[in-house]
Amino acid sequence: MAQYSYLEIGSDQGGSLVPILRDQNCAHAISVDLRPEKQPDERGISFYYPLDGEARMLDNLRGCLRPDELDRLRIFRCDIRDVDVADVPKIDLALIDGEHTNTACFSDADRMLDFVNDDSVITFHDSNLIDDAIQNFERMLSRLKIDHSTVLLPDKVAAIGLGKFAKAITAQLGFLSAPRSDFFADAQLNRWISIANSIRNRGLLPDQNEQTKSEISALLSQLICEKRESEKLRREMESARRQVDMLLQSTSWKITEPLRRGASLFKRTLK
């Protein structure tokens, strides 16, 4: 198998680097991570990172890898846009797992095109959070007339094959891909729910519990009153029905029937 070069944006504790660096077919592994104090997120919250995050990552990697495997790693502590293309080899496999906002993710994907080979694969972690960025990136690829295809894989991973990998990725992983319309609709809905929960948890909306309880209590009181009124009307109707039945069965009603018919005939004659 031919050797390949790998680049990832957002390494955190280094978990995604371990299988890559253990792969003897990996010639180069590039880690690009700005590691700010905190990062915004599409869910409406910010995540804080330790100041010694890179040191922790290296400690983790040393515990999992041989020195010669770790030697293939090169680290850039900056934004991908600040990395000089001349400083890294052409990339065959890329992972975007940095700031989980659609703006940042699209920016990362756009810049990644300067680093990858024409035939390559770009993957996105937490694809359910940055689904708008993925779709906009697809539109840009179409605009640039770059042959591509996308699979939406389990564990919230999306992969876009470019060039000859467009067909290959669909052929080999297409059966695992979620239906596009369902995936993107669910992603949007769940993101909105997360944002709503974040707003509520941060106290940016007043607590509706007491107001809701008051409204429910008022509705219950109204329902009880309406039930009582309905029962009262039912009893009155039943009483009136019994009176009518008694009248129809009475001797006076039967005796006066000819008179009623005569009165009716008289009224019609007058008309």
- Specify the pLDDT at position 266: 54
Residue type, 261: R
- Specify the pLDDT at position 241: 80
- Specify the pLDDT at position 205: 66
Please, are residues 152 and 158 in contact by the beta-carbon 8 Å criterion?
A: yes
* 151 phi and psi angles, rounded to 5 deg: -120, 140
Please, are residues 194 and 200 in contact by the beta-carbon 8 Å criterion?
A: no
DSSP H or E stretch at residue 150: strand 148-153
- What whole-number distance in Å separates Cα of residue 153 and Cα of residue 125? 10
* 7 phi and psi angles, rounded to 5 deg: -135, 135
- Specify the pLDDT at position 262: 56
Please, are residues 33 and 12 in contact by the beta-carbon 8 Å criterion?
A: yes
- For 99-121, the pLDDT digits (tens) are 999 999 999 999 999 999 999 99
Q: pTM here?
A: 0.75
Is the CATH number of domain 4-201 3.30.70.100? no
- Specify the pLDDT at position 236: 85
For 163, the token pair is 């060039």
Give domain limits for the chain: 4-201, 211-270
Cα four-point dihedral sign 75, 81, 84, 89: positive
Residue type, 169: I
- What whole-number distance in Å separates Cα of residue 108 and Cα of residue 95? 10
Please, are residues 156 and 128 in contact by the beta-carbon 8 Å criterion?
A: yes
- What whole-number distance in Å separates Cα of residue 17 and Cα of residue 73? 9
Which residue, among 155, 109, 122, 220, has the nearest Cα to 15 in the 3D structure? 155
Contacts of 209-215 spanning 24+ positions with Cβ under 8 A: none
- Specify the pLDDT at position 255: 59
- Specify the pLDDT at position 213: 72
- Specify the pLDDT at position 210: 67
Largest CA distance in the chain: 120
- Specify the pLDDT at position 169: 96
Residue type, 188: Q
| Ranges of residues in the chain whose predicted pLDDT is under 50 | none
